[in-house]
Chains A and B, each alone.
Chain A
Amino acid sequence: MTLTDIHREAPPAVVARSLTKVYGQGDAAVHALRGVDVAFTTGAFTAIMGPSGSGKSTLMHCLAGLDTVTSGSVHIGDTVVTGLSDKELTMLRRDRIGFIFQAFNLLPTLSAEQNIRLPLDIAGRQADPALFDRVVDTVGLRDRLSHKPAELSGGQQQRVAVARALIGRPQVIFADEPTGNLDSRSGAEVLSFLRTSVRELQQTIVMVTHDPVAASYADRVVFLRDGLLVSDVHQPTPQIIHDTLMKLES
């Protein structure tokens, strides 16, 4: 199967067109995104990379409806995200998007299980029991479900966050440096769960990362520099990623 085949088979889950984002005004204006055109394939695991300050987090926030864009448009599935009201955005995030952040992903007052079910609870939906069991077993948290986040290791906490993102079967999961705070072994675990979920559940994942090794778990890596998409690598290896980054930073 060639790359073009994948494109033809599945429509993109997330599309950004001519996306720009300006922080501040006048002299103090920062052009974080200067016209990004990008599409993220359904059922694919895509990594976003780039030097610090290149606009990775900004892009992710704009795609996920966490932040407003200055111009351009974002589509998630059939929905035009840009232009939705706060309430509609909230519903969109609640029902169709999953999140994994670098840290402080969990509510300290809730147990691991309650944290996993939180988005569904907010929506008033019931978790599919089979899916719940499968996700919990996949991330290996069966015996930790009743623990509070403070009683879990950093890696376990991130796995809870992954489980939480998966349980609602969102259209897309956005992850901002999900392994940034983890040692390489825990990081590798979390990343392989993400990849497994893409393979087995056809989950769409968009992940921001600094780490070439982490990015190599993805099907595709897009590179940002100064708010522009500058490179796009499919089926990357750590070596290719590393070389591309070196080129960008020079």
Chain B
Amino acid sequence: MLKTTLAGLRAHKLRLILTSLAITLGVGFISGTFVLTDTIQAGFTQSFTAAADKVDVAVIPAKDEKRSQEGPLTVPMELLDRVKGVEGVAAAVGVGRERTALIGKDGKVVGSMVTTWGVPVVEGELNRTEIVTGRAPKAGNEAVLDESTAKTRGFTVGETITVLDVRQQKHRFTLVGLFKLGVDQELSHGGAVGYTSETFQRMAQPTGFREIDVLAKDGVSAETLRAAVAAAVGAKGEAITGQTLMEKMADGNGVEIDFITYGLLLFGAVAMLVAGLVIYNTFNILVAQRTREMALLRCIGSTRSQVFRSILLESAVVGLLASVAGLLLGLGLGAAAIQVINATGSPMPAGTVTLTVTSTAAGLLTGLVVTVVAALLPARAATGVAPIAALRTQVEENAFRSGVLRWVFTGLFLILGVGVTVAGITMPPGAGGLFTVAGGGVLVFFAVLIIGPVLVKPLSRLTGFLPAYLFGVPGRLAVDNSTRNPKRSATTTIALTIGVTLMTLISVVSASVQASSDARLDRQYPVDYVLMAIGDREATIPRSVAETLRTKPEFGTVVAFREHTRPVTTDNNSFVSVGTIVGPIKTIAQEGWTGDPGPDQAILSLGTAGKLGVKAGDTMEIKTRSGRMEKVTVSGTYDREKMPGSDVLLQESTFHRYYGATEDIRVVVKMTDGAAPEAARKVVESVIADLPTVQVSSTTEIRGEFNDSINNVLMVMAGLLGLAVLISLLGIANTLSLSVHERTRESALLRALGLTRPQLRVMLSLEAFVLGLIGALIGVVLGLVFGWAAVQTMQDKPIFQAAPLHIAAFIVLSGLAGVLASLLPARRAARASIVNSLASG
């Protein structure tokens, strides 16, 4: 039996290749993901190991739930001397990290949300900073910069750079070297400037260390030293070995790697699902076409189980070969992705391409299992072939009738799916609702899968109307042919449907998110310019800015926001932000602003009021800067959707009494009617020209940035889903070529009766076009419905936007893609000799 199977496979190389390609692509994607993440993981481990080798013991901040709310935990500075005094310590350094903002060549702070870090470059063996160009800073007026910031901002060694210290004072340094950011995700987010330890103290004025690194004397084991250090620091810090430190760092980064892995694997799974459908369909057709062959085998004494096994064997061989090819493809894809990552200079430690044994096995097994499972049903159908079928001359047309059972199951899944979806929609907005809707979507998809063969006919009438009208006989025949075998057509198109559904869903959701964010910005920012300070919480805008702007005739309304830099404790032990608004806020926040707060009154955002469980008229206590609890009366609430602001808003004088006369954190301005936007912008820019941390953006810019980022996400997702679509196109090509093969004699007859070669090609292409359109149509409907449902779960007052242009493009492209898939089979069919084809069968 094995011999028969293998001979059969060899005899149909092309079919084998087409079938395998679907699996190969899926497995290639999955193993490519593994290659990528394995390589990055290996790079991380390598870097961390290198780091851990240098440090024997590290002291990290003791855990403190409460304090961690107020900012990153630190190790008290006085511990350093204590640690240095411990027996067996060769050297110890405190490592800190604060935001010290580098000023770019445009005079503005580098970075849009966060500024660059400042770090000390320690001397001696404990140095973990890798200088790649130049040298480490030695004097107080020297500094080094990370490579990638230097590259993007155009700084070179020897230049002078200007950096703001934590008090926003400018300092100038000579750039003496560039260093590698390495694997530190926190540092890589923003870039970093390195100083000598003393300069760092001066610039950053840290109140504690992030970490104290300790080097053991020769002959002192890390564990012994750890115990000694632990005893010395007591409860003020936690002493761990370098090994543990490495594991902790790896864990932190591992989360991100896992995120990438799972994200990519999700797309891989979709691709494999589509590949499974393609395989299922292919084997179904093969079984149908080989009915006679198999019946003959049965006639000469093969048992049912032998027939079954021979088909499974064939699928296993196909699956294995395809998976091996996929693995190779994956290696190539992964390597290419790593090249891209390296070229873009992202802080991923990508070294040599790595593929672990587990990942290899996972890739191979996925391909094999999907193929064999997809072939199970067709194989079972093959066992039903009666020996007598060998004697029938004509293979029966696969007559299809929609049985009661089909309707019952469709109804069941549909009702269930709709029920779950509705339940998801009615849930409060959030991930729970979204996942429920996704579950409902899967159920409804099953309903569509089951009822697919019934849908094919009416849908092909619908989509085939125009082609049949335009192309005459070839068009009409194409539409007829597309539904000749409804089951086959349904499976072929559903494979495409999956990709189109997800693409539609994503574009609908992102269009809706965009629309609602636009709407929110419309409501929230009826202002023209927003001035913000970049940097950490301490970053502020001098009050003089708002005051100067108020004197300018271009601006009618100038409103300043102030906020206490630290979270404030309330009487029921929550943390809230407390701020005040200076200026005619009423003219901006028309609705939803109940009125300015009076003395010792507070206005709460709706969310805060809910969280604290208070309403207008209640009183609450807040901790002031001096540590006293002060009572304020809640005078009203406001909608943060309509106006951004602190959790708790006080009257200006009350705020100043409790938290001091702070600077502004945000200033919004509105132009007077008739003021020229360009001139107004120039005025704003001139006012903030000397303030590197203050950035101005117009509301249109804010909107544009947001829309850009959504579009980027959309493109990446579409690209990843493209694979699933590509595989489904292979499915169309495969189905079509098998159908063409089945109808060889028919095509020859048509040619004999006067159908030209181009007409025959058009006929086959139109068939694929109709199939593509059917798949797209179902996909678009599903995508729209569930896109709508998903949007309902995402916001309180969702705005639904259908993205009609994208959808039209999906439909047209699917049809054209179908045509593309048909080109090869159609060419072969048109080339076939009429006489030979007539004689075949």
- Listed in ascending order, the chain A residues whose CB lies under 8 Å from chain B are 61, 64, 66-67, 86-87, 90-91, 93-95, 99, 101, 104-105, 107-110, 118-119, 121-124, 150, 164
Contacts and interface: CB of A to CB of B under 8 A. Distances in A.
Interface stretch (B215-223, B438-446, B472-480): B472-480
B751 A90 contact: yes
Given A121-B472, A121-B473, A107 B750 contact: yes
6 contacts: A67-B833, A90-B756, A93-B752, A94-B754, A104-B745, A104-B749
B457 to A, nearest CB: 12
A27 B385 CA distance: 42
B8 interface: no
B472 A124 contact: yes
A119 B481 contact: no
A93 B757 CA distance: 13
A66 B753 contact: no
B477 A109 contact: yes
B749 A107 contact: yes
Contact of A122 (B480, B754, B757, B834): B754
Nearest to A91: B754
Contact of B753 (A109, A118, A150): A118
B841 interface: yes
A186 B155 CA distance: 95
B397 A122 contact: no
B482 to A, nearest CB: 10
A90 B745 CA distance: 17
- Which 8 A/B pairs are nearest by Cβ-Cβ distance? A94-B754, A109-B480, A90-B756, A67-B835, A121-B473, A122-B473, A119-B753, A93-B754
B841 A99 contact: no
A107 B754 contact: no
A110 B480 contact: yes
B746 interface: yes
A108 B485 CA distance: 12
A86 B833 CA distance: 11
Contact of A66 (B484, B745, B834): B834
A160 to B, nearest CB: 13
Nearest to B838: A101
Contacts of A119: 753-754
Interface string B182-199: 000000000000000000
B477 A90 contact: no
Given A99-B752, A104-B745, 8 more contacts: A64-B752, A66-B752, A66-B834, A90-B755, A90-B756, A107-B750, A109-B484, A123-B754
Nearest to A104: B745
Contacts of B838: 66, 101
Contacts of B833: 67
B746 A104 contact: yes
Interface in B745-771: 745-746, 749-757, 759
A93 B746 CA distance: 16
B96 to A, nearest CB: 79
A61 B750 CA distance: 15
Contacts of A101: 749, 752, 838
Interface of B: 394, 397, 472-473, 477, 480-481, 484, 745-746, 749-757, 759, 833-835, 838, 841
A156 to B, nearest CB: 16
A122 B754 CA distance: 7
A107 B835 CA distance: 17
Contact of B477 (A93, A107, A150): A107
Contacts of B841: 104
A99 B834 contact: no
A122 B394 CA distance: 26
Contacts of B473: 118, 121-122
A60 to B, nearest CB: 10
Nearest to A90: B756
A87 B759 CA distance: 11
A87 B758 CA distance: 9
Contacts of B756: 86-87, 90-91
Nearest to B750: A107
Kindly name the residue among B752, B757, B841 whose own CB sees the greatest number of chain A CB atoms within 10 A.
B752
Contact of A150 (B397, B749, B751, B757): B397
Nearest to A101: B838
Contacts of B480: 109-110
Contacts of B484: 108-109
B753 A93 contact: yes
A105 B752 CA distance: 10
A109 B472 contact: no
Given A109-B477, A121-B472, A90 B757 contact: yes
A90 B749 contact: no
A250 B397 CA distance: 44
B752 A122 contact: no
Among B754, B755, B834, find the residue whose CB has the most chain A CB atoms closer than 10 A: B754
Nearest to A94: B754
A95 B473 CA distance: 15
Contact of A107 (B394, B472, B746, B759): B746
B471 to A, nearest CB: 11
Contacts of B757: 86-87, 90
A95 B754 contact: yes
Contacts of A67: 833-835
B835 A61 contact: yes
Contacts of B746: 104, 107-108
Nearest to B394: A104
A108 B483 CA distance: 12
Nearest to A118: B753
A87 to B, nearest CB: 6
A121 B841 CA distance: 27
Nearest to B393: A103
Nearest to B834: A66
Nearest to A106: B749
A150 B834 CA distance: 23
A95 B755 CA distance: 11
A109 B479 CA distance: 10
A119 B755 CA distance: 8
Contact of B835 (A66, A99, A109, A123): A66
A91 B756 CA distance: 8
Nearest to A86: B757
A150 B484 CA distance: 13
B221 to A, nearest CB: 84
B749 to A, nearest CB: 7
A105 B834 contact: no
B558 to A, nearest CB: 76
Contacts of A104: 394, 745-746, 749, 841
Nearest to B754: A94
Contacts of A91: 754, 756
Contacts of B477: 107, 109-110
A194 B457 CA distance: 39
Nearest to B483: A109
A94 B754 CA distance: 4
Contacts of B751: 90
Contacts of B834: 66-67
A187 to B, nearest CB: 18
Contact of B755 (A109, A110, A122, A150): A122
Contact of B754 (A90, A105, A109): A90
